[in-house]
Amino acid sequence: MSSKRFLRPPGARPEREFLARCLQCGQCAQVCPFYCIYMHTGFNPFISGTPQIDPRKAPCHLCMHCSEICPSNALENVPKEKVRMGRAELDRTKCHTWQGFIICRSCFERCPLKGRAIVLEKGIYPAITEKCAGCGVCEHVCPKKAIVTIPTRFVT
Amino acid sequence: MKKPSIKTCRRFLQVFIALAFVIIPYLNSYRINLFRGNFLCFHAAGLPLADPLAVLQVSVKNWYLSPKLLIGAGIVLSIAFALGTVFCSWICPYGLLSELVHGLSKKLLPKKFKGFVTKRKGFPIKIIIFGLGFLGFLLFSTTPVLNQLSMPAWYSRIFQFIFVQHHISLAILFVFSVLLVEFFARNRIWCRYVCPQAVLLVLAKLLNSRRLRVVYDKNKCIIKKGKSPCERACTLSLDPKTLNPSLETECTNCGDCIVACKKMGQALEYRFGLSTE
């Protein structure tokens, strides 16, 4: 996954405002119980040290611990239904179910907003709705890597 | 029992802090979070602490003051207000490394070599660098980009990287190369001329004329001419015998000169308030 496509932790403000507020203290990475947040390690001084999530390695489970403790409110403490970290996009040409091989409900079963962010069309086919928080759990569990989570700032 | 000298106490605290910021990220990797954060913003069992410059940058760019950050920066600034820039000499882990490297260069480099810029005043240069850096930040950056010049933050961040996300950061080379330059220059260049984080601490201490400082009693001094032990002891190459505002701006109240003078005439001591005439 290219480093430019990382997600911000849940509750993050719009990218510009987030960057202006983030103190790069790393406390969010240190409290995350799922070890999914890590600090940006590159040499770009404008984003080095800011938190990011790579759902392929470890997705966010929307526990919201990080936004509770953020000292500068760069991560706002919002209810998890209102979180918009990004948007999951399902490639139907890769999906087991849509291709008609087997009925795979991995993404549907593991979605923290099960039944709202991912619904089953006709009771079988998974589809991602507008309520997707972009946590990346579905991307992480998809056996075919058919799902990609696009960070909010790249969603058009 | 003999009372430990100022220098022993100081070294103990410095080493303790330096080790604490290795152990804390290690504990954090097991999600023991009573203490967390780094030198930019620290959470000490409920008590917030923050780097004043980082808070200033965030506040300026957002026109917003977070109560947690205000308390954090306020505590740090009020310590500087009362006790001077003791952060630099008693707490900062980079200060510890820099002092050790300075001591090494004194021992290992040939005696004749005096170093590059010893007598220059540091603070004006620092103010210029700080001003340019802050202007650049205001014009070109939304991120609090001056944080990247904070050596203690890099020190703690390197260990955060190692323990929390198993990444060995190349920032080690950055810190190491600055130390190497300081070694060959025999001068604590970063602390004296660059470190922008200290500027706000210095300004806070200058507001208070009754702060803690090192005072010099001319009548007790037994050194009449030549380089005195106190001057030799100062790692920032200041001369405690010539009391003037520019020297007091740079002095970090480390107390090395007081220790050096203890055996001579005890002409130097810590005192609150105005210096004696």
Q: How many interchain CB pairs under 8 A, A with B? A: 104
CA end-to-end span of chain B, whole Å?
35
Q: Where are the beta strands (DSSP E) in chain B?
A: 35-38, 41-44, 47-50, 212-216, 268-272
Residue A45: its pLDDT value, please? 85
Nearest chain A residue to B146, by CA: A45
Residue B277: its pLDDT value, please? 45
Instruction: Output the six-digit token pair for B200.
Output: 């706000």
Q: Which has the closest alpha carbon to B76: B46, B41, B38?
A: B41
Question: Under an 8 A CB cutoff, do A21 and B38 touch?
Answer: no
Q: Per the structure, how many domains does chain A have?
A: 1
Nearest chain B residue to A27, by CA: B37
Residue A128 placed within a domain: yes
Task: Give the percent of chain A with pLDDT over 90.
Answer: 29
Question: Under an 8 A CB cutoff, do B33 and A30 touch?
Answer: yes
Q: Residues B94, B98, B103, CA angle at the centre, nearest 5°? A: 150
Residue A123: its pLDDT value, please? 87
Range of the domain at A122: 84-154
In this complex, the residue of B25, B142, B161 whose CB is nearest that of residue A20 is: B142
Nearest chain B residue to A29, by CA: B164
Residue A144 placed within a domain: yes
- For B13, phi then psi, to 5°, come to -65, -45
Give the relative orientation of helices B151-165 and B171-185 as an angle to the nearest 10 degrees: 150
Task: Supply the CATH number for residue A101's domain.
Answer: 3.30.70.20
| Domain at B209-277: CATH code | 3.30.70
Contact (Cβ atoms closer than 8 angstroms) between residue B92 and residue B70: no
Which residues on A lie below 8 Å from B62 (Cβ)?
17, 20-21
Nearest chain A residue to B66, by CA: A72
**One-letter amino acid of B180:** L
Question: Under an 8 A CB cutoff, do A49 and B157 touch?
Answer: yes
Who's near A43: CB < 8 A, 6+ residues apart? B170
| Predicted-complex ipTM score | 0.83
Question: Under an 8 A CB cutoff, do B142 and A38 touch?
Answer: no
Model-level pTM? 0.87
In order, the DSSP letters of A102-135 are ----HHHHH-TTBTTTEEEETTTEEEE-TT----
- Residue of A30, A40, A66, A70 to mutate, interface with B, max B Cβ within 10 Å: A30
For chain B, the residues whose C-beta falls within 8 A of a C-beta of chain A are 25, 28, 31, 33, 36-38, 40-43, 48, 50-51, 54-55, 58, 61-62, 64, 66, 68-69, 72, 141-145, 147-148, 153, 157, 160-161, 164-165, 167, 169-170
Average pLDDT over every residue of A125-131: 91
The ranges of chain B with pLDDT < 70 are 1, 111-120, 243, 274-277
Nearest chain A residue to B149, by CA: A45
Question: Under an 8 A CB cutoff, do B143 and A29 touch?
Answer: no
**For residue B208, how far is the Cα from the chain centroid?**
19
Contact (Cβ atoms closer than 8 angstroms) between residue A102 and residue A52: no
Average pLDDT, chain A: 88
Residue A3: its pLDDT value, please? 46
pLDDT at A146 over 70: yes
* d(C-alpha B55, C-alpha B77), whole Å: 11
Which residues on A lie below 8 Å from B161 (Cβ)?
39, 41
* d(C-alpha A123, C-alpha A121), whole Å: 5
pLDDT-wise least confident of A9-13, A23-27, B244-248:
B244-248
Task: Give the percent of chain A with pLDDT over 70.
Answer: 97
Express each pLDDT in A35-93 by its tens digit: 999 888 878 888 888 999 999 889 999 999 999 999 888 999 899 888 988 899 999 99
In this complex, the residue of A30, A45, A71 whose CB is nearest that of residue B68 is: A71
Residue B95: its pLDDT value, please? 92
Higher pLDDT, A127 or B265: A127
Q: Residues B204, B209, B210, CA angle at the centre, nearest 5°? A: 105
Positions of CATH 3.30.70 in chain B: 209-277
Instruction: Output the six-digit token pair for A77.
Output: 């403490």
Nearest chain A residue to B166, by CA: A38
In this complex, the residue of A16, A45, A72 whose CB is nearest that of residue B142 is: A16
